[in-house]
Each structure stands twice: as C-alpha cells, then as structure tokens.
C-alpha cells in the first residue's frame, strides 16, 4: 500500500510544488538519450514528471505506480496523454504478455528503490523488471550510501519549508526521523495546509542497502554488468546503479 503522502489526493496535488527543482531527473534523461532507448518503463512514476519529460522526446513510456492519486495528477499534466499510465506495480506490468522483453530501459528515480524494505518485495520487483526488459536492456536506479548516514540530516530544523502553491495557497511540510533499526529508517512527513489548518500525517520507511547486498540481489534477479557509480547530483551521498538484463534460461 502506498504511503499517504503519495496517495492522498490533496497531497498529490501539491507534491510537485513542494518538491521544487527536479534537476535530479537530468541524469535519467541523459541515460535515455545516451543508451538510445526507445521504450522506457518508469517504475514508481509518481506524479509523472520524468515520464512526461521523456515522452516529449518521442519515446514510448509506461509509468507505473500504486498511488492512484499521484497517477491522476500525472494523467492531467501537459503531455500526459503521450504516456501509458498504470495504477499498480511492476509485477502487474510483467504479467501483460505485450510488455515482456519489450522495454529498453527501466528506471526507479528518487527514493523508489529504497521503499522496498522486505527482501521478497525487492526481489519480486527486480525479477519483474527483468522480465519486462529486452535482453541487454538497462535498469537504472539510485540509492543512498549507508555510510553517509543521510537520516541524521532529516530533522525538522533542516527540512521545514513553507511553499506557496497555486492549488492550495501556503503549504508547510518537514521530515523528522522517528526510528533507525539497522538498515531501516522510519520518518514522519506531516503536511499542513495553512488556508484551513488541515494537517495530513504520513509515515514512511526506507531501506539503506549496502553495495554487497545490492549486487547480490541484482545477480539473483538475473542482471549482469553491474555498475554502482556515484550519483551525479550527490556523488558522495548516493549511487546511480546500472545493470543489464541477461537472457533468461529457456527464453
């Protein structure tokens, strides 16, 4: 089930305004162009900013996300009609025979790869992506380096902001960690709509996998040519992970 911050209609409506600059997506746009991809699967597409950018270049894009409210926002964006939107998960895409071995590139931008906190869910997702990619197709996602201990900076003092939105006027939000349990970090991210005082709570958990675990799970899912490079926008804080889809036995 998606976190309320993504699936609440009012939160989804102001998500882009609160996120602000999305230059973090530039690295993925470059990957599409550099790899010559013509068919892209955007896993955890959210409100569709990346999918719409890529589709504007004439690329066939499928955006999938379990948060119906976010996908509704994505559908209504300029250029949103050029994207195929699916409310669901990657396994939902993989069961469609028309999408098996169809994509050149699959992406998980922002913190999408870290929302899969259970091993079974992460491996199921990776294997479904593998089924969707053509042999030699590219999977690219980012994840924070555990050694950076990013969660220590997730405080109300550092993250608090008030943003004037076109949809709901002044909106206030922040992030505050409530629990660190090994590789699992849980945090609250309340949103307050100052126009009427409504406060919407959201609690999320991310998993910080280390390099060995990332590589092991990718290999187990059938990927080869693994590359954990520095994340262009934050080279010391995260990896941009790239891996190729190997042919499946019997395929």
* Rg for the chain, CA atoms, rounded: 18
* Token code pair at residue 86: 């699916």
What's the pLDDT tens digit per position in 4-52?
A: 789 999 999 999 999 999 999 999 999 999 999 999 999 999 999 999 9
Query: Percentage of the chain with pLDDT > 70?
Result: 98
3 pLDDT exceeds 80? no
Fill in the DSSP letter of residue 155: -
pLDDT at 174: 98
pLDDT at 4: 72
pLDDT at 210: 98
Whole-model pTM: value is 0.96
pLDDT at 250: 54
CB 7 within 8 A of CB 68: yes
Name 77's Cβ contacts closer than 8 Å, sequence gap at least 6. Answer: 47, 48, 49, 52
CB 223 within 8 A of CB 244: yes
What's the pLDDT tens digit per position in 65-100?
A: 999 999 999 999 999 999 999 999 999 999 999 999
What's the pLDDT tens digit per position in 103-129?
A: 999 999 999 999 999 999 999 999 999
C-alpha closest to that of 41 among 55, 27, 30: 55
217 pLDDT exceeds 60? yes
Between CA 229 and CA 240 the distance in angstroms is 5
What's the pLDDT tens digit per position in 126-142?
A: 999 999 999 999 999 99
176 pLDDT exceeds 70? yes
* Token code pair at residue 141: 């996602």
Query: Percentage of the chain with pLDDT > 90?
Result: 95
pLDDT at 249: 62
Q: Where are the alpha helices (H) located in the chain, listed in sequence order?
A: 4-7, 9-19, 26-35, 49-55, 68-75, 90-94, 119-132, 156-159, 211-220
């Amino acid at each position: 089930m998606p976190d309320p911050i993504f699936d609440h209609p009012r939160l989804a409506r102001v998500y882009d305004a609160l996120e602000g600059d999305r230059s973090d997506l530039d690295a993925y746009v470059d990957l599409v162009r550099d790899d010559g991809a013509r068919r892209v699967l955007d896993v955890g597409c959210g409100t569709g900013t990346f999918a719409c950018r890529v589709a504007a270049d004439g690329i066939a894009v499928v955006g999938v996300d379990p948060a119906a409210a976010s996908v509704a926002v994505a559908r209504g964006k300029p250029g949103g009609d050029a994207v195929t939107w699916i409310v669901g998960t990657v396994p939902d895409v993989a069961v469609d025979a028309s999408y098996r071995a169809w994509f050149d590139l699959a992406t998980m931008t922002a913190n999408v790869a870290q929302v899969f906190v259970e091993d079974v869910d992460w491996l199921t997702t990776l294997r479904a992506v593998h089924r969707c990619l053509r042999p030699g197709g590219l999977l690219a996602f980012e994840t924070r380096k555990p050694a950076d201990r990013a969660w220590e900076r997730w405080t109300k003092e550092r993250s608090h902001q008030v943003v004037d939105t076109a949809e709901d006027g002044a909106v206030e939000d922040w992030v505050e960690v409530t629990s660190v349990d090994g590789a699992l970090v849980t945090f609250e991210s309340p949103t307050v709509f100052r126009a009427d005082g409504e406060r919407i709570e959201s609690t999320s958990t991310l998993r910080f996998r280390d390099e060995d675990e990332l590589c092991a799970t990718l290999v187990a899912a059938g990927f080869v040519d693994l590359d954990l490079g520095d994340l262009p926008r934050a080279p010391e804080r995260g990896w941009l992970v790239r891996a190729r889809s190997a042919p499946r036995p019997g395929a």
